[in-house]
Structure 1
Amino acid sequence: MASTKAPGEKHHSIDTQLHQLVPGKVSEDDKLIEYDALLIDRFLNILQDLHGPSLREFVQECYEVSADYEGKGDTTKLGELSAKLMGLAPVDAILVASSILHMLNLANLSEEVQITHRCRNSKLKKGGFADEGSATTESDIEETLKRLVSEVGKSLEEVFEALKNQIDPHLCLCLFYIF
């Protein structure tokens, strides 16, 4: 696993890079970014203690490239990530994949903490989509769609438009076919 960092260069926290990826208007969710960065940084420290600095750097680079691809949609970043991962031995590939999976799980955990925090602090519900976003995570999309229509009072068209703007339109059509 080759590293792009100079020998002896100190590992930096990815907190700054995560803050750069987030739009400026998300001030309410700064704690989510901080929890996410803190958990991932701690995980990378443990990974370094167990497997050395080169693996930590490699996993961190893969995570940053994938975040960059997700943020900008630049397909060259996807190719760069693919090239990095294809050059690994099977044992290293499993270790890197499980490390990235753990990092994603930690990000999800910090998001759940933020959702719970929002729920507790939410006093005024206005009956909008924002209220649904601060609710606890539900595993059943059909139940969520039904609740939006029956309890929150949104029309199917409003729900469809909101989903269409957030996910792939084909997936959105599939969800409404099920509903």
Structure 2
Amino acid sequence: MKKLIFLSLLFAICFFLLLFPFFIQLVSYLHPIVLAVVFFCLFIVILFILLFMYKKTIYIHHSLFLWIFIFYTFALLLLLFFRPNNQVYDSINLIPFSTIYYYLNGNVKWIVSFYNLAANIGLFIPYGILLMEKNLSTLWLLLIPIAFISLIETMQFITHRGSLDIDDLILNVLGIFIGFLLYPAFKRIFRLY
């Protein structure tokens, strides 16, 4: 088990260093903690893949799991609300898929497009796993993500730290729903006690 964790860390470091010239570009319009979040996500994804391939299980104390989520949420809030001061967002987009189309059309650097689309989905996958862990009804599994993401979008708009964008809502909720789909694999690899 320690070997797989070490191997995951080693692969994450290699990928991170290989792609560092691209990741460093993100710091110009996001909080520098983006680098730590990207590295953490690389490590977790690689660890998840290796544990799944080797059919291994990690036992995690429930309180440690919650502390990891608290730290992750704190880092995510830093990314969402504490951006460089030279950026002010005050736009509203209520037309579904227009921002997604804008990014896919090559109107901005590919690293910015990729990060915005991938992060809007990927960074919310863990919340889908967390919600599934709570054994909620289907109605609550639909309502909580929409309400949670709507609150974030509204707060970003009110504080001028992000635009109010229906596409962010769509992509974030998609990430949460992907978390729902990944939950069985998560339960196979990570056991909470």
Q: Tell me the TM-score normalized by structure 1.
A: 0.29
Structure 1 or 2: more strand by fraction: 2
Structure whose CA Rg is larger: 1
Q: Tell me the TM-score normalized by structure 2.
A: 0.28
Higher relative contact order (CA 8 A, sep 6+): 2
